[in-house]
Structures are given as structure tokens and as C-alpha cells.
């Protein structure tokens, strides 16, 4: 059974919140038929199929992102806490970048309430992973310098 990262509770909560935001965004994308079109790139897949294969959708991050965040935040591996925290921060930055390159993000007048909530949830949980991840990486870095 995986061993939780000691002292990483805030990062774990942020990763779980990000996973929840991704699930909510997936449901909103399916309901509103919002295809993922980052930078205008279109794939000939239905929204449910695109989500299943990991492409993502208009207001939903691709499922490998929250899975990677959860693994990094909750599973003790041979990697340091600093690396795990930095991984979550990087995923947060990538999700914000992905949100910015989706055309639906730039059409706020076309948003339904669900789309608005999904976009806000993606951005908020990504910012949380960035802030907590970067904050967790600093003490771990200082701690390793003190023990060297």
C-alpha cells in the first residue's frame, strides 16, 4: 500500500481538489459538448472519447494531470519531498497555461454557469497547487542544505 508523504497534507488536499475540479469540468464539457481545442488544434473525437483517451476538453484538464498530481502528492517514492512538491506546482502551471490556450476561455459571454464554475475551479485549484507546491519545496530545500 502506498505510504502518504509525511507533512504533505496541504499538497494532498490541493491535488484532490484539482482532481475534483477536473471531474466537474469533464461533466460540464460533456453536457455542453465542449471539445478541447488548445491553440485551435482539433481532434476528430467526441468529447467523452477525448476525455477517455486523455486529451481533455474545453473546461477540463486531461485526466493524466490530476492522476500525476495525486501520485506526486500522496505516494512516497524514491523522490524527495521537494521534487514531489515541484511536480504538483508544475502541473498547476500547466493547467493554467492549458486554460489560457483554450478558445472557450476567451468567450466569457458564451459561458454557462457550469462553465464559469469549472474554469474558476481549475484556476483556483491550480493556483493552490502552485502556492503549496512552491512553499513546500522551499523548506525542503532549506532543510537539505542544513543537513549537508
Residue 1 lies in a domain: no
Residue range 132-145: average pLDDT? 64
Dihedral of CA 107/112/113/115: which sign? negative
Q: What pLDDT is attached to residue 8?
A: 79
Confidence of residue 5 (pLDDT cuts 50, 70, 90): very low
pLDDT tens digits for 15-59? 999 999 999 999 999 999 999 888 888 889 999 999 999 998 989
Q: Average the pLDDT over 9-19 and give the result.
A: 93
pTM of the model: 0.84
Check whether 114 has a pLDDT greater than 80. Answer: yes
In the chain, at which residue ranges do the beta strands (DSSP E only) sit? Answer: none
- Residue 63 lies inside a defined structural domain of this protein: yes
pLDDT at 57: 92
Q: How many structural domains compose the chain?
A: 1
Residue 60: strand, helix, or coil: strand
Question: Is 2 among the domain residues?
Answer: no
- Please check whether residue 108 lies inside any domain of the structure: yes
* Residue 66: inside a domain: yes
User: Could you list the residue range(s) of the whole structural domain that residue 54 is in?
Assistant: 9-147
User: pLDDT tens digit string along 76-111?
Assistant: 767 778 888 889 999 999 999 999 999 999 999 999
User: Tell me, what's the pLDDT at 95?
Assistant: 94
- Is the per-residue pLDDT at 61 higher than 60? yes
Q: Is 43 contained in some domain?
A: yes
Whose grid coordinates read 549537508? Answer: 148
User: Is 116 a domain residue?
Assistant: yes
Q: What is the pLDDT of residue 84?
A: 85
**Given a cut of 70, is residue 64 above it in pLDDT?**
yes
- Is the confidence at residue 144, as pLDDT, over 90? no
Residue 4, in any domain of the structure: no
Question: Which pLDDT score is estimated for 26?
Answer: 96
Written as one string, the DSSP assignment of 98-124 is HHHHSGGGG-GGG--HHHHHHHHHHHH
Amino acid at each position: 500500500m502506498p505510504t502518504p508523504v509525511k507533512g504533505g497534507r496541504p499538497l494532498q488536499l490541493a491535488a484532490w481538489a484539482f482532481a475534483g475540479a477536473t471531474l466537474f469540468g469533464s461533466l460540464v464539457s460533456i453536457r455542453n459538448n465542449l471539445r478541447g481545442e488548445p491553440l485551435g488544434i482539433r481532434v476528430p473525437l467526441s468529447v467523452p472519447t477525448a476525455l477517455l483517451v486523455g486529451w481533455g476538453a474545453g473546461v477540463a484538464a486531461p485526466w493524466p494531470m490530476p492522476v500525476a498530481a495525486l501520485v506526486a502528492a500522496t505516494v512516497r517514492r524514491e523522490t524527495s519531498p521537494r521534487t514531489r512538491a515541484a511536480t504538483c506546482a508544475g502541473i498547476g502551471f500547466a493547467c493554467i497555461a492549458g486554460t489560457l490556450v483554450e478558445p472557450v476561455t476567451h468567450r466569457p459571454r458564451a459561458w454557462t454557469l457550469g462553465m464559469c464554475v469549472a474554469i474558476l475551479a481549475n484556476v483556483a485549484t491550480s493556483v493552490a497547487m502552485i502556492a503549496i507546491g512552491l512553499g513546500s519545496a522551499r523548506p525542503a530545500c532549506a532543510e537539505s542544505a542544513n543537513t549537508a
